[in-house]
Amino acid sequence: MSAVAVALAPAATEPATACAHCGLPAGGGQFCCAGCEAAFATIQGLGLGRYYRQRVLDRQARAPRPEAHAPRDFSRYVTTDAAGNATLTLAVDGLQCGACVWLIESVLAQEPDLLLGRVNLTTRRLRLVWRGGAARAEALVARAEALGYRLMPFDPALLAAARDRTGRALIRALAVAGFAAGNVMLMSAATWFGLTQGMGPATRALMHWVSALIALPAIAYAGMPFFRSAFAALRQRRTNMDVPISVGVILVSAMSLVESFRGGLHTYFDSAITLLFFLLLGRVLDHQARGQARATAEHLLTLRAADVAVLQPDGGTRRVAHDAVAPAARVLVGMGERVGVDGVVEDGHSTLDASLVTGESVPAAVAPGAAVFAGTLNLGPALIVRATATGARTLLAECVRLIEAAEARRGRFVVLADRVARRYAPAVHILAAATFVFWWVVMGAGVADSLLTAAAVLIITCPCALALAVPAVQVLATSRLLRAGILVKSATALERLAQVDTIVFDKTGTLTEPMPTPLAEADADAWRTAASLAAASRHPLARALHAAMPDVPAARGAEEHPGRGIALAVAGGTVRLGSRAFCDLPAAPAATTELWLARPGRAPVRFGFEERLREDAAQVVAGLRALGLAVVLASGDQAVPVRRIAALLGITDVHAACTPADKVALIERLRGGGRHVLMAGDGLNDGPSLAAAHVSVSPATAADISQTVADVVFQGARLAPVVEVLRLARRARSAMRQNLALAIGYNALMVPLAAAGLVTPWLAAIAMSSSSLLVLGNSFRLQGRARRWT
């Protein structure tokens, strides 16, 4: 075996025992995680251990060998700042709602040396900052994993795979619960009608046992997401919303099983499985609403070159990781490669697609001495770049940090979920316990009847309607927008869009068309000559020039000089199309982007390029003002073209020559003044400001990174979708408030009836289901004919 292979070989570990539930390595214990322990206890409690034993054996046969798993070393992913504080960013698998966020953060807050423990529900990231060395990471991770969540080094691919697995598991659980609920309800209906039609005890008992055979396995399977979460919370001596749900389902199932053994008149398997069906429906909707959440910083990181070709003293190259490049190293960037470092061009002439940095669609010409940045794409010949910043010190990495800092802000619904999680579950438990004591002690009812009344309270107070109130509106509204060519990527974007009172526009590619319009006071011969030369180039300005006269054939023998222009040798001299310097003209400032045509014996001709406003830009700006919004223009362009566009649109609040930090500072000032800012832009230079804004939109013609960062992406050549999404967001906010009012009103009406013993568990399930359907019906009012913007 080679030395490299030996070095990469995993270290030997002690043999790990198999988990008693899933069969995966358990690390020397009986279970691999708290979730499996909860699942095992639930299955045993329902008497289904023998049913699952063969499944465990099958999983053990398929599981990887324990010795193939090396212990995780999180200390490798820890970074330390100048103050000695350690930072670790992890992906969290198993997050369901704001209660999960509160539970993880409240447990980690007990660690005395922890400075920050923040969970981002949208991106499912946990960021830890603590005093001390990297070795402390293992203990902090263990505290979070003890709650039943799985933590892993942040890897977008792993997180996407985990999210897909969770989605598929929820769909399977929903399908099982729906199938079982439909069949058990049929059995229950037959039993109810049989009570008035003289059904005999033997037939009734058969119906009850058939219902049990259908319901109990389905409850054990479909209830796992709730049972695991509840068990993990109880292990930490805490409660969450899943605890009363689990208690109610298990209590009703156990009581029904007892009644089946006793030959009683009533069982309530239908109540338990119907309850799970509607709970899972809410969770699936929520998962889908959050499944399109943006993955901003991780997409930014994919723009970095996987490795970099570093020139060696002997003239050869050695490819190393981008963060392993030493400062002042000489890097070779070939055609079609992304620049992996920030640096200065030392040798070579080329053009770079810098739209991810500048936001401008026109590639930039670079020559020796020009500054280049990581993430830009080399469109021409190879360059030699002297590195000035590498790894985490590049502009690209700085944009990542700005976006992560902006995303760390808490949404209003997350804060509300935290409060509900702290108060809802204890209140429900106290109410159910008080109901049981009242009926058993005060009213003298039997234990079974008192338990059923308490179970009815647990079921009827289930937050099904509350769980559906927001996700249902989000899914239906976003599906309508999607039919109109508007993609809403963030689960909380609609709520934030409804609060917008200020919109900040970028100029190029947002208010204007991506393709500039060539302008020149020239004769037809000059236009044809310029178009024929331009046809031989792929430069965007050349393409725009040729698009003005598409029937003109390309000039034969034209030679392109990257970053400078195109030349064609003719009788009497050379025809040139390009920059002032390329055409041997004196330097002079220009108000717009330009190309020059120089022909032997003729005066040079200037072709200016005017950016065209989107077709309905002025109408949209007027419409936004009609909605009561303040409109701001902030661009990285120079003052002259920016103010010209602002004048055409009637925008008076104008900011030109803005760097990414300037745009973020502008948005922070607006937010500091109490404004809710919508940012509309494209390009990497807009990435931090898109993330810093209260909510953000981007056109589909924008750079990929802007579409990734933005909460909303709209298609088509028009700006009208911006107005459409704002209007629908306000309607969605009204629907959310109505749904919440319906859900709260339902509880205020039905809970006293259940506590008074006027509602049985099956009636509680019907009432709970009706409230959920009422909320869904109100949400469906958002569906309508969507207009497709083209």
**Mean pLDDT, residues 580-595 taken together:** 78
CATH number for the 307-407 domain, one of 3.30.70.1450, 3.40.50.1000, 2.60.40.2470, 2.70.150.10? 2.70.150.10
Give 3-state DSSP helix, strand, coil % of the chain, rounded to 5: 50, 15, 30
Pick 437 or 147 by higher pLDDT.
437
* Helix H or strand E segment including 497: helix 493-497
d(CA 223, CA 468): 18
Tell me which residue has tokens 């009703």.
252
Pairwise CA distance, residues 234 & 223, whole Å: 16
Q: Which residue has the higher pLDDT, 329 or 19?
A: 329
CA angle, residues 137, 305, 684, in degrees to nearest 5: 90
Identify which of 144-158, 309-323, 704-718 has the greatest average pLDDT.
Answer: 309-323
Which of the 8 DSSP states describes residue 535?
Answer: T
pLDDT (0 to 100) of residue 576: 93
When mean pLDDT is compared across 416-425, 493-502, 739-748, the lowest value belongs to 416-425
Residue 551: closest CA among 531, 524, 537: 531
Place of tokens 């060395």: 133
- Domain spanning 517-610: CATH superfamily: Calcium-transporting ATPase, cytoplasmic domain N (3.40.1110.10)
Continuous segment of H or E residues that includes residue 569: strand 565-570
The pLDDT assigned to 726 comes to 93
For residue 11, the 8-state DSSP code is: P
Neighbours of 51 (CB within 10 A): 13
Mean pLDDT of the region 571-580: 88
pTM of the model: 0.51
CA–CA separation, 422 and 243 (whole Å) = 12
pLDDT of residue 324: 77
pLDDT of residue 220: 93
Return the closest-CA partner of residue 209 out of 199, 198, 201.
201
* Region class of 44: left (phi > 0), else alpha (psi between -120 and 50), else beta: alpha
Flag whether pLDDT at 650 surpasses 60.
Answer: yes
**If you average pLDDT over each of 373-377, 430-434, 542-546, 559-563, which comes out highest?**
430-434
**Per-residue buried b or exposed e for 218-227, using 16+ beta carbons within 10 Å of the residue's own CB:** bbbbbbbbbb
Contact predicate 222/444, CB 8 Å: no
The reply to whether 506 belongs to the active site is yes
Domain 33-162 has CATH 3.90.700.10: no
User: Which contiguous run of DSSP H or E holds residue 343?
Assistant: strand 342-347
Decide which of 717 and 14 is more confident: 717
Q: pLDDT by residue (tens digit) across 392-449?
A: 667 666 555 544 544 444 445 445 544 554 566 677 778 888 998 998 888 888 777 7
The stretch 214-243 carries a mean pLDDT of: 82
Distances (CA, A) of 661 to 17, 402, 685, 695: 53, 9, 9, 18
Is 786 exposed, middle or buried (CB count within 10 Å of its CB: 0-12, 13-18, 19+)? middle
Q: Give 407-475 as a DSSP string.
A: HTSPPHHHHHHHHHHHHHHHHHHHHHHHHHHIIIIIS---HHHHHHHHHHHHHHT--HHHHHHHHHHHH
Mean pLDDT of 44-72: 44
Q: Which of 506, 637, 682, 686 is catalytic?
A: 506
Give the list of residues 6+ apart from residue 752 with CB closer than 8 angstroms, or none. none
- Whether the pLDDT of residue 758 is over 80: the answer is yes
Residue 49: its pLDDT value, please? 46
Domains of the chain, residue spans: 33-162, 307-407, 517-610
Q: What's the first-to-final CA gap in the chain, in angstroms?
A: 61
Q: Which residues pair with 152 in a beta bridge?
A: 91
- CA distance linking residue 298 with residue 89, whole number of Å: 12
Angle between helices 617-626 and 720-755 (to 10 degrees): 40
d(CA 337, CA 773): 54
User: What percent of the chain clears pLDDT 70, i.e. is strictly above it?
Assistant: 71
**Confidence at 198, pLDDT banded by 50, 70, 90:** confident
Distance CA(532)–CA(558), nearest Å, equals: 9
Can you say whether the dihedral through the CA atoms of 268, 274, 280, 282 is positive or negative? negative
Report for 147-151, 344-348, 702-706, 759-763: range of highest mean pLDDT:
344-348
The answer on pLDDT for 188 being more than 70 is yes
Contact, 349 vs 367, CB < 8 A?
Answer: yes
Gap between the Cα atoms of 363 and 355, Å rounded: 7
Look at residues 111, 142, 106 and name the one whose alpha carbon lies nearest to residue 33.
Answer: 142
Higher pLDDT, 508 or 107: 107
- Whether the CA torsion 703, 708, 714, 715 is positive or negative: it is positive
**How far apart are the C-alpha atoms of 604 and 582, rounded to whole Å?**
12
Residues 143 and 165: their CA atoms lie apart, in Å, by: 24
Q: How far apart are CA 297 and CA 688, in angstroms?
A: 10
Which DSSP symbol is given to 510? I
pLDDT at residue number 789: 45
Answer whether residue 467 shows pLDDT above 70.
no
pLDDT of res. 122:
54
Query: What Cα–Cα distance (Å) separates residue 751 from each residue in 100, 428, 449, 746, 765?
Result: 26, 10, 17, 8, 12
Contacts of 195 (CB under 8 A, 6+ apart): 204, 265
User: How confident is the model over 458-464, as a mean pLDDT?
Assistant: 69
- When pLDDT is cut at 50, 70 and 90, the band that residue 222 belongs to is very high
Task: Give the least confident one: 82-96, 350-364, 515-529, 575-589.
Answer: 350-364
User: What single string gives the DSSP state of each residue in 629-652?
Assistant: -EEEEE-SS-HHHHHHHHHHHT--
Instruction: Name the packing angle between helices 720-755 and 447-460 (round to 10°).
Output: 170
For 87-103, what is the mean pLDDT? 72
Residues 762 and 97: their CA atoms lie apart, in Å, by: 27
Q: Would you state the pLDDT for residue 53?
A: 46
Sign of the four-CA dihedral 232, 234, 236, 241: positive
Mean pLDDT on 763-784: 74
* Nearest C-alpha neighbor of 491 from the set 696, 736, 289: 289
Taking alpha carbons only, the member of 579, 574, 571, 613 closest to residue 596 is 579
